[in-house]
Amino acid sequence: MIYWQLFLSYLKIGFFGFGGGYPMITLIHNEIVMQREWISQAQLSDIIAISQMTPGPIAINCATYVGFTVTGNIWGSLLATTACVLPPLSLMLILTIFYRKLQNNKYIQAAISWMRPMLVGMIAVAAIMFLNQETFFDWSSYAICIGSFIAVWKKVNPIWVLLISALLGILIY
Amino acid sequence: MRELWNLFSCFFKIGAFTFGSGYAMISLIEREVVDKHCWFEREDFLNHFTLAQSAPGPFSLNAAAFVGFRVKGYWGALVSVLGLVIPSFVIILLIAMYLTDIRDNETVNAAFKALRPCVVALIAVPCIRMFIKMKWPQMIVAVAALGILLVSGISPIYMLLLGALLGVALTYFRKS
Protein backbone atom coordinates (compact mmCIF):
# COMPACT_ATOMS: atom_id res chain seq x y z
CA MET A 1 0.00 0.00 0.00
CA ILE A 2 1.72 3.11 -1.30
CA TYR A 3 -0.01 5.56 1.06
CA TRP A 4 1.04 3.59 4.12
CA GLN A 5 4.67 3.42 2.89
CA LEU A 6 4.65 7.13 2.17
CA PHE A 7 3.34 7.86 5.64
CA LEU A 8 5.94 5.61 7.35
CA SER A 9 8.85 6.99 5.32
CA TYR A 10 8.04 10.59 6.12
CA LEU A 11 7.33 9.81 9.76
CA LYS A 12 10.87 8.44 9.89
CA ILE A 13 12.34 11.47 8.11
CA GLY A 14 10.49 13.81 10.46
CA PHE A 15 11.56 11.93 13.57
CA PHE A 16 15.25 11.88 12.69
CA GLY A 17 15.38 15.29 11.03
CA PHE A 18 17.95 16.69 13.44
CA GLY A 19 19.85 19.77 12.37
CA GLY A 20 17.12 21.02 10.02
CA GLY A 21 17.25 21.27 6.22
CA TYR A 22 20.70 20.26 4.96
CA PRO A 23 21.29 17.06 6.94
CA MET A 24 17.71 16.11 6.10
CA ILE A 25 18.66 16.04 2.41
CA THR A 26 20.84 12.99 3.07
CA LEU A 27 18.07 11.40 5.11
CA ILE A 28 15.54 12.02 2.32
CA HIS A 29 18.01 10.77 -0.28
CA ASN A 30 18.63 7.53 1.60
CA GLU A 31 14.94 6.86 2.23
CA ILE A 32 13.17 8.18 -0.88
CA VAL A 33 15.79 7.84 -3.65
CA MET A 34 17.88 4.83 -2.59
CA GLN A 35 15.50 2.63 -0.60
CA ARG A 36 12.07 3.41 -2.05
CA GLU A 37 13.23 4.62 -5.49
CA TRP A 38 10.25 6.96 -5.73
CA ILE A 39 12.18 9.81 -7.36
CA SER A 40 15.55 10.06 -9.10
CA GLN A 41 18.61 11.85 -7.80
CA ALA A 42 18.21 14.54 -10.47
CA GLN A 43 14.60 15.10 -9.35
CA LEU A 44 15.76 15.52 -5.76
CA SER A 45 18.27 18.13 -6.90
CA ASP A 46 15.47 19.95 -8.76
CA ILE A 47 13.29 19.89 -5.64
CA ILE A 48 16.10 21.36 -3.54
CA ALA A 49 16.58 24.17 -6.07
CA ILE A 50 12.83 24.87 -6.08
CA SER A 51 12.69 24.72 -2.26
CA GLN A 52 15.40 27.32 -1.97
CA MET A 53 13.58 29.66 -4.31
CA THR A 54 10.16 29.27 -2.70
CA PRO A 55 9.31 30.05 0.93
CA GLY A 56 9.19 27.33 3.57
CA PRO A 57 11.49 24.62 4.93
CA ILE A 58 13.12 22.19 2.47
CA ALA A 59 11.81 19.14 4.32
CA ILE A 60 8.17 20.29 4.11
CA ASN A 61 8.51 21.33 0.46
CA CYS A 62 10.09 18.01 -0.40
CA ALA A 63 7.36 16.05 1.41
CA THR A 64 4.63 17.92 -0.46
CA TYR A 65 6.39 17.39 -3.80
CA VAL A 66 7.23 13.71 -3.33
CA GLY A 67 3.74 12.99 -2.00
CA PHE A 68 2.25 14.33 -5.19
CA THR A 69 4.78 12.70 -7.52
CA VAL A 70 4.35 9.26 -5.98
CA THR A 71 0.54 9.14 -5.79
CA GLY A 72 -0.43 11.66 -8.45
CA ASN A 73 -2.95 13.40 -6.20
CA ILE A 74 -3.29 15.99 -3.46
CA TRP A 75 -4.00 13.39 -0.76
CA GLY A 76 -0.52 11.96 -1.18
CA SER A 77 0.91 15.42 -0.66
CA LEU A 78 -1.21 16.04 2.39
CA LEU A 79 -0.34 12.66 3.91
CA ALA A 80 3.43 13.02 3.39
CA THR A 81 3.46 16.58 4.72
CA THR A 82 1.44 15.63 7.80
CA ALA A 83 3.71 12.67 8.47
CA CYS A 84 6.76 14.90 8.18
CA VAL A 85 5.33 17.50 10.58
CA LEU A 86 3.94 15.19 13.29
CA PRO A 87 7.16 13.93 14.94
CA PRO A 88 8.87 17.33 15.28
CA LEU A 89 5.63 18.91 16.49
CA SER A 90 5.02 16.30 19.20
CA LEU A 91 8.66 16.17 20.33
CA MET A 92 8.78 19.94 20.50
CA LEU A 93 5.64 19.99 22.67
CA ILE A 94 7.21 17.47 25.03
CA LEU A 95 10.37 19.56 25.19
CA THR A 96 8.38 22.72 25.93
CA ILE A 97 6.33 21.05 28.66
CA PHE A 98 9.41 19.65 30.41
CA TYR A 99 11.47 22.70 29.53
CA ARG A 100 12.76 23.40 33.03
CA LYS A 101 13.73 19.80 33.70
CA LEU A 102 15.48 19.28 30.37
CA GLN A 103 17.14 22.66 30.01
CA ASN A 104 20.33 21.74 31.85
CA ASN A 105 20.35 17.99 31.44
CA LYS A 106 24.00 17.01 30.78
CA TYR A 107 23.16 13.81 28.90
CA ILE A 108 20.83 15.50 26.44
CA GLN A 109 23.35 18.26 25.83
CA ALA A 110 26.15 15.74 25.25
CA ALA A 111 23.98 13.62 22.94
CA ILE A 112 23.08 16.66 20.87
CA SER A 113 26.62 17.98 20.70
CA TRP A 114 28.01 14.62 19.50
CA MET A 115 25.27 14.34 16.92
CA ARG A 116 26.62 17.52 15.37
CA PRO A 117 29.71 15.99 13.71
CA MET A 118 27.44 13.27 12.31
CA LEU A 119 25.22 15.99 10.87
CA VAL A 120 28.23 17.67 9.23
CA GLY A 121 29.20 14.31 7.72
CA MET A 122 25.63 13.93 6.45
CA ILE A 123 25.66 17.35 4.79
CA ALA A 124 28.96 16.46 3.12
CA VAL A 125 27.34 13.30 1.77
CA ALA A 126 24.51 15.42 0.36
CA ALA A 127 26.99 17.61 -1.50
CA ILE A 128 29.13 14.71 -2.71
CA MET A 129 26.25 12.60 -4.02
CA PHE A 130 25.40 15.30 -6.54
CA LEU A 131 28.96 15.21 -7.92
CA ASN A 132 28.10 13.11 -10.94
CA GLN A 133 28.09 13.40 -14.72
CA GLU A 134 24.46 14.40 -14.79
CA THR A 135 25.29 17.50 -12.75
CA PHE A 136 28.75 18.24 -14.16
CA PHE A 137 28.56 17.56 -17.88
CA ASP A 138 31.06 20.15 -19.10
CA TRP A 139 33.32 22.99 -17.91
CA SER A 140 30.43 25.44 -17.60
CA SER A 141 28.87 23.35 -14.80
CA TYR A 142 32.13 23.56 -12.84
CA ALA A 143 32.28 27.31 -13.47
CA ILE A 144 28.72 27.77 -12.14
CA CYS A 145 29.45 25.64 -9.10
CA ILE A 146 32.67 27.50 -8.20
CA GLY A 147 31.06 30.88 -8.88
CA SER A 148 28.04 30.03 -6.72
CA PHE A 149 30.32 28.73 -3.97
CA ILE A 150 32.26 31.99 -3.79
CA ALA A 151 29.06 34.06 -3.86
CA VAL A 152 27.36 32.07 -1.08
CA TRP A 153 30.57 32.05 0.96
CA LYS A 154 30.63 35.85 0.70
CA LYS A 155 27.07 35.80 2.13
CA VAL A 156 25.21 36.76 -1.02
CA ASN A 157 21.55 35.74 -0.56
CA PRO A 158 21.20 32.19 -2.03
CA ILE A 159 18.02 33.20 -3.89
CA TRP A 160 20.01 35.62 -6.05
CA VAL A 161 22.71 33.03 -6.67
CA LEU A 162 20.04 30.53 -7.81
CA LEU A 163 18.21 33.05 -10.00
CA ILE A 164 21.43 34.17 -11.70
CA SER A 165 22.48 30.55 -12.27
CA ALA A 166 19.09 29.77 -13.81
CA LEU A 167 19.39 32.80 -16.07
CA LEU A 168 22.91 31.77 -17.12
CA GLY A 169 21.57 28.30 -17.87
CA ILE A 170 18.89 29.67 -20.15
CA LEU A 171 21.46 31.80 -21.94
CA ILE A 172 24.17 29.19 -22.53
CA TYR A 173 22.44 25.80 -22.89
CA MET B 1 -10.14 33.15 19.53
CA ARG B 2 -8.52 36.42 18.62
CA GLU B 3 -5.17 35.20 19.95
CA LEU B 4 -5.45 32.03 17.86
CA TRP B 5 -6.04 34.12 14.76
CA ASN B 6 -3.01 36.28 15.64
CA LEU B 7 -0.85 33.18 15.93
CA PHE B 8 -2.13 31.82 12.64
CA SER B 9 -1.60 35.04 10.70
CA CYS B 10 1.81 35.66 12.29
CA PHE B 11 3.17 32.25 11.26
CA PHE B 12 1.38 32.36 7.92
CA LYS B 13 3.34 35.50 7.18
CA ILE B 14 6.59 33.89 8.29
CA GLY B 15 5.82 30.80 6.20
CA ALA B 16 4.96 32.82 3.12
CA PHE B 17 7.81 35.29 3.12
CA THR B 18 10.91 33.60 4.44
CA PHE B 19 13.17 31.94 1.96
CA GLY B 20 16.09 29.62 2.50
CA SER B 21 17.26 28.12 5.74
CA GLY B 22 15.88 28.20 9.26
CA TYR B 23 18.80 30.23 10.55
CA ALA B 24 17.69 33.17 8.44
CA MET B 25 14.27 32.93 10.03
CA ILE B 26 15.46 33.39 13.62
CA SER B 27 15.63 37.19 13.51
CA LEU B 28 12.33 37.45 11.67
CA ILE B 29 10.52 35.22 14.14
CA GLU B 30 12.15 37.06 17.01
CA ARG B 31 10.91 40.39 15.68
CA GLU B 32 7.35 39.14 15.27
CA VAL B 33 7.10 37.20 18.51
CA VAL B 34 9.11 39.42 20.88
CA ASP B 35 8.86 42.97 19.52
CA LYS B 36 5.53 43.02 17.76
CA HIS B 37 3.23 40.65 19.66
CA CYS B 38 5.13 40.63 22.99
CA TRP B 39 4.41 36.92 23.48
CA PHE B 40 7.89 36.32 24.92
CA GLU B 41 10.65 38.10 26.80
CA ARG B 42 13.69 38.21 24.52
CA GLU B 43 15.91 36.06 26.70
CA ASP B 44 13.16 33.54 27.30
CA PHE B 45 12.57 33.30 23.56
CA LEU B 46 16.24 32.72 22.78
CA ASN B 47 16.50 30.06 25.49
CA HIS B 48 13.53 28.26 24.01
CA PHE B 49 15.05 28.60 20.59
CA THR B 50 18.22 26.85 21.74
CA LEU B 51 16.04 24.02 22.98
CA ALA B 52 14.19 23.98 19.66
CA GLN B 53 17.47 23.34 17.90
CA SER B 54 17.91 20.09 19.77
CA ALA B 55 14.57 18.78 18.51
CA PRO B 56 14.37 17.19 15.06
CA GLY B 57 12.70 18.97 12.16
CA PRO B 58 12.92 22.41 10.57
CA PHE B 59 13.69 25.21 13.10
CA SER B 60 10.81 27.37 11.95
CA LEU B 61 8.40 24.51 12.57
CA ASN B 62 9.77 23.93 16.07
CA ALA B 63 9.59 27.65 16.80
CA ALA B 64 5.94 27.74 15.66
CA ALA B 65 5.20 24.80 17.95
CA PHE B 66 6.70 26.26 21.13
CA VAL B 67 5.46 29.81 20.59
CA GLY B 68 1.95 28.57 19.83
CA PHE B 69 1.98 26.26 22.81
CA ARG B 70 3.17 28.92 25.25
CA VAL B 71 0.59 31.42 24.04
CA LYS B 72 -2.49 29.23 23.69
CA GLY B 73 -1.74 25.59 24.57
CA TYR B 74 -2.21 22.67 22.17
CA TRP B 75 -4.58 24.54 19.90
CA GLY B 76 -2.12 27.42 19.72
CA ALA B 77 0.66 25.05 18.65
CA LEU B 78 -1.54 23.39 16.04
CA VAL B 79 -2.79 26.67 14.58
CA SER B 80 0.74 28.15 14.40
CA VAL B 81 2.16 25.09 12.65
CA LEU B 82 -0.75 25.10 10.18
CA GLY B 83 -0.15 28.77 9.45
CA LEU B 84 3.53 28.08 8.81
CA VAL B 85 3.02 25.03 6.59
CA ILE B 86 0.03 26.12 4.45
CA PRO B 87 1.82 28.69 2.24
CA SER B 88 4.68 26.40 1.22
CA PHE B 89 2.30 23.46 0.87
CA VAL B 90 0.11 25.32 -1.61
CA ILE B 91 3.03 26.74 -3.60
CA ILE B 92 4.87 23.42 -3.90
CA LEU B 93 1.65 21.57 -4.73
CA LEU B 94 1.00 23.92 -7.64
CA ILE B 95 4.60 23.50 -8.82
CA ALA B 96 4.38 19.70 -8.52
CA MET B 97 1.13 19.67 -10.50
CA TYR B 98 2.42 21.75 -13.38
CA LEU B 99 6.17 21.15 -13.34
CA THR B 100 5.90 17.80 -15.12
CA ASP B 101 4.27 19.58 -18.05
CA ILE B 102 6.74 22.44 -18.28
CA ARG B 103 9.75 20.26 -17.40
CA ASP B 104 10.06 19.24 -21.08
CA ASN B 105 10.21 22.87 -22.06
CA GLU B 106 13.73 23.62 -23.30
CA THR B 107 14.09 26.87 -21.39
CA VAL B 108 13.07 25.29 -18.07
CA ASN B 109 15.37 22.37 -18.74
CA ALA B 110 18.29 24.70 -19.44
CA ALA B 111 17.64 26.58 -16.22
CA PHE B 112 17.67 23.36 -14.17
CA LYS B 113 20.89 22.20 -15.85
CA ALA B 114 22.57 25.28 -14.37
CA LEU B 115 20.76 25.03 -11.04
CA ARG B 116 22.15 21.56 -10.24
CA PRO B 117 25.83 22.59 -9.88
CA CYS B 118 24.59 25.65 -7.99
CA VAL B 119 22.77 23.42 -5.47
CA VAL B 120 26.03 21.55 -4.80
CA ALA B 121 27.65 24.86 -3.82
CA LEU B 122 24.68 25.82 -1.64
CA ILE B 123 25.02 22.60 0.34
CA ALA B 124 28.83 22.69 0.51
CA VAL B 125 29.12 26.17 2.04
CA PRO B 126 27.27 25.55 5.36
CA CYS B 127 28.99 22.17 5.62
CA ILE B 128 32.49 23.66 5.39
CA ARG B 129 31.53 26.53 7.72
CA MET B 130 30.30 24.10 10.38
CA PHE B 131 33.34 21.84 9.87
CA ILE B 132 35.98 24.52 10.42
CA LYS B 133 34.23 25.67 13.61
CA MET B 134 34.52 22.23 15.26
CA LYS B 135 37.26 20.94 17.55
CA TRP B 136 39.52 18.21 16.17
CA PRO B 137 37.88 15.16 17.86
CA GLN B 138 34.57 16.23 16.32
CA MET B 139 36.30 16.77 12.97
CA ILE B 140 37.57 13.19 13.02
CA VAL B 141 34.09 11.88 13.83
CA ALA B 142 32.59 13.97 11.02
CA VAL B 143 35.08 12.64 8.45
CA ALA B 144 34.53 9.08 9.72
CA ALA B 145 30.75 9.53 9.42
CA LEU B 146 31.18 10.81 5.87
CA GLY B 147 33.36 7.84 4.94
CA ILE B 148 31.04 5.26 6.46
CA LEU B 149 27.94 6.77 4.85
CA LEU B 150 29.57 6.95 1.41
CA VAL B 151 31.07 3.46 1.46
CA SER B 152 28.30 1.47 3.14
CA GLY B 153 25.15 3.31 2.06
CA ILE B 154 23.55 2.61 5.46
CA SER B 155 20.81 4.91 6.70
CA PRO B 156 22.15 8.11 8.31
CA ILE B 157 19.75 7.37 11.18
CA TYR B 158 22.30 4.87 12.55
CA MET B 159 25.01 7.52 12.52
CA LEU B 160 22.77 9.91 14.48
CA LEU B 161 21.98 7.23 17.05
CA LEU B 162 25.68 6.41 17.32
CA GLY B 163 26.50 10.09 17.87
CA ALA B 164 23.89 10.43 20.61
CA LEU B 165 25.14 7.25 22.27
CA LEU B 166 28.73 8.48 22.10
CA GLY B 167 27.76 11.73 23.81
CA VAL B 168 25.88 9.96 26.60
CA ALA B 169 28.70 7.43 27.13
CA LEU B 170 31.40 10.12 27.28
CA THR B 171 29.41 12.10 29.87
CA TYR B 172 28.75 8.95 31.91
CA PHE B 173 32.40 7.90 32.07
CA ARG B 174 33.60 11.40 32.80
CA LYS B 175 31.32 11.43 35.84
CA SER B 176 32.35 8.06 37.26
In this structure, the answer to whether residues A173 and A110 fall within a common structural domain is no
Distances (CA, A) of A95 to A6, B48, B53, B161: 27, 9, 11, 19
Q: Which of A136, A152, A28 is nearest to B122 (CA)?
A: A152
In this structure, the answer to whether residues A90 and A160 fall within a common structural domain is no
Determine whether the interchain pair A20/B93 forms a contact, defined as Cβ–Cβ distance below 8 Å.
Answer: no
As separate numbers, helices (DSSP H) first and strands (DSSP E) second, chain B gives 7, 0
In this structure, the answer to whether residues A38 and A106 fall within a common structural domain is yes
Average confidence score pLDDT of chain A: 90
Contacts of B139 in chain A (CB under 8 A): 117
What are the boundaries of each domain within chain B?
Answer: 2-102, 134-175
Which value, to the nearest 10 degrees, does the dihedral of the CA atoms of residues A48, A53, A55, A58 take? 10
Contacts of A149 in chain B (CB under 8 A): 121, 124-125
Q: What is the pLDDT of residue B24?
A: 62
Read off the pLDDT band of A1 (50, 70, 90): confident
For residue A99, what are the domain limits? 2-129
Asked if A161 is an interface residue toward chain B (Cβ–Cβ < 8 A), one would say: yes
Percent with pLDDT over 90 in chain A? 53
Q: What is the pLDDT of residue B45?
A: 85
In this structure, the answer to whether residues A106 and A28 fall within a common structural domain is yes
Ranges A62-66, A97-101, B84-88: which has the least confidence? A97-101
Determine whether the interchain pair B60/A74 forms a contact, defined as Cβ–Cβ distance below 8 Å.
Answer: no
In this structure, the answer to whether residues A17 and A35 fall within a common structural domain is yes
Q: What is the pLDDT of residue B106?
A: 85
How far apart CA A50 and CA B20 sit, in angstroms, is 10
Contacts of B69 in chain A (CB under 8 A): 92-93, 96-97
Q: Using only C-alpha atoms, what is the Rg of chain B?
A: 20
**Amino acid at site B155:** S
Asked if A57 is an interface residue toward chain B (Cβ–Cβ < 8 A), one would say: yes
How far apart CA B19 and CA B17 sit, in angstroms, is 6
In this structure, the answer to whether residues A81 and A142 fall within a common structural domain is no
Spans of chain B, pLDDT less than 70: 19-24
Asked if B22 is an interface residue toward chain A (Cβ–Cβ < 8 A), one would say: yes
Give residue-wise pLDDT tens across range B33-72. Answer: 888 888 988 888 888 887 787 889 888 899 999 999 999 9
Asked if A1 is an interface residue toward chain B (Cβ–Cβ < 8 A), one would say: no
How many domains does the structure of chain A reveal? 2
Tell me the three state secondary structure of residue B69. helix
Residues 68-127 of B with CB under 8 A from A: 69-70, 74, 77, 81, 84-85, 87-89, 91-93, 95-97, 99, 107, 109-127
